[in-house]
Amino acid sequence: MPTCPDCNGQGETFRFVDYRDGHGEHGYFPCDECGGTGQVSEERIKARAVGKQLRDWRVHTLHMSLRDVAPRFGLTAVELSHMEHGRIPIPDVLWEAAGFGER
Ligand SMILES: [Zn+2]
């Protein structure tokens, strides 16, 4: 399996964790992408690449924010953000608008 691109196979990343109670801390925490295994599936690598393409299209071609683009496709900004991170599938209408061609 491919090495996790977020933690470089380490299984943890150094970051700030916000406990949402007015506290938080910097430290090493299990990697969100691979869940601490240091490895991700080929599918995840592909989904991340497509998500990045989607983001590049929005930022560099449309020059628009998540909030501006999302409603045009019946999405929320949060949903569109998840798509750009490859976490949920991209609907056909958006796929075609971005000029991605055949699935
Ligand atoms: Zn990882």
**How far apart are the C-alpha atoms of 70 and 83, rounded to whole Å?**
11
Tell me the residue type at 51: G
Alpha helices in the chain (DSSP H): 42-56, 66-69, 77-84, 92-97
Q: How far is the CA of 48 from the centre of ligand 1 (A)?
A: 13
The DSSP secondary-structure symbol of 34 reads T
Query: Cα of 15 to ligand 1 centre, how many Å?
Result: 13
Distance 3 CA to ligand 1 centre (A): 8
Helix H or strand E segment including 24: strand 24-30
Task: Give the residue extent of every domain in the chain.
Answer: 1-40, 42-97
In this structure, are strands 24-30 and 12-18 parallel, antiparallel, or unpaired? antiparallel
For residue 19, the CA-to-ligand 1 centroid distance in Å is 21
The H or E element that residue 12 is part of is strand 12-18
Length of the chain counted residue by residue: 103
What is the percent of the chain with per-residue pLDDT over 90, rounded to a whole number?
A: 97
Residue 102 pLDDT level (bands cut at 50, 70, 90): confident
If you ran DSSP here, which 8-state letter would residue 4 be given?
A: P
**The whole model's pTM is what?**
0.82
pLDDT given at position 18? 93
User: What separation in Å is there between the alpha carbon of 36 and the centre of ligand 1?
Assistant: 6
Q: Are the C-beta atoms of 80 and 70 separated by less than 8 Å?
A: yes
Q: Render pLDDT for 52-98 as a digit per residue (tens, 0 to 9).
A: 999 999 999 999 999 999 999 999 999 999 999 999 999 999 999 99
Q: What distance in Å separates the CA atoms of residue 89 and residue 101, rounded to the nearest whole number?
A: 15
pLDDT at 103 > cutoff 90: no
Portion of the chain with pLDDT greater than 70, in percent:
100
Q: How far is the CA of 28 from the centre of ligand 1 (A)?
A: 12
